[in-house]
Amino acid sequence: MLSRTADHLYWMSRYTERAENTARMLDVNYQTSLLPQSAEVAKYGWQGVLSISELLPLYNKKYEQITPNEVMEFMVKDESNASSIVSCLKAARENARAVRGALTTEAWETQNTTWLEVNRMLRQGDFERDPGQFFEWVKFRSHLSRGVTLGTMLQDEAFYFSRLGTFLERADNTARLVDVKFHALNSEFFGAATEEDQEYDFYHWSAILRSVSAFEVYRKVYRDVIKPERVAELLILRADMPRSLHASLAEVVSNLAKVQNEQSAETQRRAGKLLADLQYARVDEILATGLHAYLTQFLDRVNELGGRISQDFLVPAH
Where a domain ends, among 128, 153, 178? 153
Kindly state whether residues 115 and 175 are assigned to the same domain: no
The residues, ordered by sequence, that sit 6+ positions from 175 with a Cβ below 8 Å of its Cβ are 245, 295, 298, 299, 302
**When comparing pLDDT for 229 and 249, which is higher?**
249
Provide the domain count of the chain: 2
Task: Return the pLDDT at 53.
Answer: 84
State the pLDDT confidence band at 35, using cuts at 50, 70 and 90: confident
State yes or no: pLDDT of 22 exceeds 50: yes
- Which are the contacts of 201, defined by CB distance < 8 A and separation ≥ 6? 192, 226
Report the phi/psi class of residue 186: left, alpha or beta, with left for phi > 0 and alpha for psi in -120 to 50. Answer: left
| Predicted confidence (pLDDT) per residue in 56-99, tens digit | 999 999 998 998 899 999 999 999 999 999 999 999 999 999 99
Work out the average pLDDT over 165-182: 90
When pLDDT is averaged across residues 263-287 and rounded to a whole number, the result is 95
Of 278, 294, 296, which is closest to residue 286 (Cα–Cα)?
A: 294
CA 100 to the chain's CA centroid:
25
Residues 139 and 170 in one domain: no
Mean pLDDT of 142-163: 95
| Same domain assignment for residues 109 and 222 | no
Angle at Cα 281 formed by Cα 160 and Cα 162, nearest 5°? Answer: 10
* Residue-number span of the structural domain to which 160 is assigned: 155-317
- Do residue 89 and residue 165 come from a single domain? no
The model's confidence at residue 171, banded by pLDDT at 50, 70 and 90, is very high
Residues 35 and 136 in one domain: yes
Q: How far apart are CA 183 and CA 175, in angstroms?
A: 12
Query: Is the domain of 167 the same as that of 216?
Result: yes
5 and 127 assigned to the same domain? yes
Quick one: pLDDT at residue 197? Answer: 58
Confidence band of 227 (pLDDT split at 50, 70, 90):
confident
Residues 42, 48: Cα–Cα separation, whole Å = 10
Confidence check: pLDDT of 252 > 80: yes
pLDDT score, position 243 = 94
pLDDT digits 0-9 by tens, 179-216: 877 776 654 444 444 455 555 677 778 888 888 889 99
80 and 172 belong to one structural domain: no
The single-letter code of the amino acid at 257 is: A
Which residue among 129, 153, 177 closes a domain? 153
pLDDT (average), residues 125-132: 94
Spatial separation of the C-alpha atoms in residues 257 and 193, rounded to whole Å: 49
Shared-domain flag, residues 180 and 312: yes
Distance of CA 273 to the CA centre of its chain: 22
One domain for residues 190 and 134: no
Last residue of one domain, picked from the residues 94, 126, 153: 153
> Which pLDDT does position 190 carry in this prediction?
42
- What rounded mean pLDDT belongs to the chain? 89
Per-residue pLDDT at 225: 86
Does 178 lie in the same domain as 120?
A: no
Residues 6+ away with beta carbon under 8 Å from 95:
8, 9, 11, 12, 15
DSSP 8-state assignment for residue 100: G
What distance in Å separates the CA atoms of residue 194 and residue 295, rounded to the nearest whole number?
29
Q: Which helix (H) or strand (E) holds 154?
A: none
Question: Do 164 and 281 share a domain, yes or no?
Answer: yes
